[in-house]
Structure 1
Amino acid sequence: MTEFEQQELTQIRNDFRYYLSSSKVSEGAIKALTTFPLLRLAGFYRYPIQISIEESIADISIEDKDTIITGMFDILAVNKTTETTAIASFWILVIESKNSGVEVRQGLPELLTYAYQTLELQSSVWGLATNGLQYLLAYLKQGNPPTYQLMPELHLMESERSIQLLQVLKAICKLQSAS
C-alpha cells in the first residue's frame, strides 16, 4: 500500500468513528462514508469496471428451501469488457450493506441470494456484506449445488485488518481488470 492509501484509509476510519460516536449509522451513510471510498481506493471506479447502485433483481427461487426473495442489491461492480450474455456484463463484486447496529452476518442471506443469480451466467462471483465496522467477503462458485466460501471477517476500525480489507479489495479489482 502506498502512503497516500494508508492516509486515506486512516481518514475513512476517523470519519466513520466520528459518525459512530453520535449514534447508529444508516445503510446510506455507511455506503457514503466507508464503502464508496474503499471501492475508489481499491480501483473499482476505473475502466473496465463500472459500479451500479441499488438495482432491482428478478425473483429468485431457491428450490431446496422453497424461498423467493425480491429486492435490490446495494452496490454491484461489473466488468464492462466481459459479457456473460449479449445483455449481461460479468459481475465482479456484489455488496450488501446494513446499518451499523446490525450484525454483519445478517446481510449474508441477501448477499448470497443476489450473487447466486449470476452463477447461471458465470463461474464465480465475490460478495461483500458490511455494516461499516465489519466486512465479510464470500466467494461463490458455480456447481450443483453452487458453493461459497467465507473469508475471515475484517474490521475497519482495526488498523491492520482495515489494511487487509483494502488489500483484498485491490486484489479482487486487479484480478478482474486483468481478465
Structure 2
Amino acid sequence: MIQATAITKAILSFRDVEEKLGLQRSRNPNFFPEWQGTLPLLTDRETATLNRLADRYLHYLEEGEVSEGTLNIILLSPLLDALGLCDPPYRIRGETWVGVQAFVDSEAGRIELEGRIDALTIQDEFWLVVIEGKRGGFNVLRAVPQAIAYLSATPHPDRPVYGLVSNGYDYLFIKKHHQEFAVSHNFSLLSDVDRNLPKVGQILKHLVQISAPALGDDE
C-alpha cells in the first residue's frame, strides 16, 4: 500500500529533491539555455500591461505583506492573461492536484507526494509551464524544491517541463528533463532594465512557444 504525504511537508530542500525524487542539479551550462539568448518581443500593449502589474504589486507590498491568494489575483493571473496564455489553444488550471511517487525507504515502501499547483498552463494535457506563487516577503528560492516536485508529476516525463516560482518581487525559472534540473538567474522587479517583469514575460512566452510544438510532433 502506498502512503500519501504532502509535498510541502516532504520536500523542503534540494537534498530532499535528490534523495526522495532521485533528481540531480545539472552542471552542464548548456542544459538550460532557454531563458537566455534571443527572446520573443512583447507588444507595446503587453509591455505596458506588465509594467502596470509590477507597479500594482509594489503598491500592495508597500501597504504590507501580500498573501499567496492576493498575489495570484493581482499579478500572476493577470500576467498569464496579458500574455495570451488563458485563451485557446492554452488553458489555465488553478489549484491543480498532482501526485508523484518518491523514493523513500520505509516499512511501508514508497510514498506518494501530493500537492496543489497554483497555476498550470496546459495544451492538450501537455504541461507547458507550472507556476508556483508564494506570499510577499517569502524567499523565492525556498519554493524551488517543491516546484521541482510538481514538475516531476508531468504526464510526459520524456519531454522538458518548465516552472516559474515567484513571491511577486522575485522570479526564478526552472527546467526539469529526465532526472536533471536547473534554475535560472533571479529576476527582480527593481533590478536593472533586463530583469524586470517584461523580461519575465518574454521568457515565459518563449518557454511556451518552444514547448507547445513538441506535442504535435508525435501526432
TM-score range, shorter chain: 0.7 to 0.9
Deviation, 1:27, is: 0.5
* 1:95-174 alignment runs, 5 A limit: 95-118=131-154, 121-142=157-178, 146-158=179-191, 159-162=193-196, 163-174=198-209
Q: Report if the CA contact (8 A) 2:126-2:156 is conserved.
A: no
Deviation of the 1:103 alpha carbon: 0.1
Which letter does structure 1 place at the counterpart of 2:161? V
Larger radius of gyration, structure 1 or 2?
2
Pair 1:67–1:135, CA change in 2 (3 A) = farther
Q: Is the Cα contact below 8 Å between 2:134 and 2:140 reproduced in 1?
A: yes
1:49–1:177 Cα contact (<8 Å) kept: no
How far 1:178 moved relative to its partner?
A: 4.0
1:43-69 Cα offsets, whole Å, 9 max, x none, are 2112211110101122531358x7753
Q: Distance in 2 between matches of 1:6 and 1:120?
A: 32
Q: What's the Cα RMSD here?
A: 2.2
Q: Distance in 2 between matches of 1:31 and 1:72?
A: 14
Tell me whether 1:46 sits opposite 2:46 in the alignment: no
Higher strand share: 1
The alignment status of 1:18 with 2:59, answered yes or no, reads yes
Give distance in 2, aligned partners of 1:177 and 1:70.
26
Equivalent-residue separation in structure 1 for 2:176 and 2:83 (angstroms): 21
- TM-score normalized by the length of structure 2: 0.70
Alignment correspondent of 2:29: none
CA distance in 1, matches of 2:59, 2:171: 19
Q: Percent identity?
A: 26
Unaligned stretches of 5+ in structure 1?
81-88
Alpha-carbon distance in 1 for matches of 2:43, 2:133: 27
CA distance in 1, matches of 2:139, 2:60: 18
Of 73, 79, 89, the residue aligned with 2:117 is 73
Give the 3-state SS of the residue equivalent to 2:194 in structure 1. Answer: helix
For residue 33 of structure 1, the aligned residue among 71, 74, 84 is 74
Secondary structure at the counterpart of residue 123 of structure 1:
coil
Do the aligned partners of 2:117 and 2:131 also contact (CA within 8 Å) in 1? yes
Q: Normalised by the size of structure 1, how large is the TM-score?
A: 0.84
Distance 1:71 1:177 in 2: 25
Give the direction of change, closer, same or farther, for the CA distance of 1:153–1:62 in structure 2 (3 Å limit): farther
Are the aligned partners of 1:94 and 1:126 in contact in 2 as well (CA < 8 Å)?
A: yes
Relative contact order, CA 8 A, sep 6+: which one is greater? 2
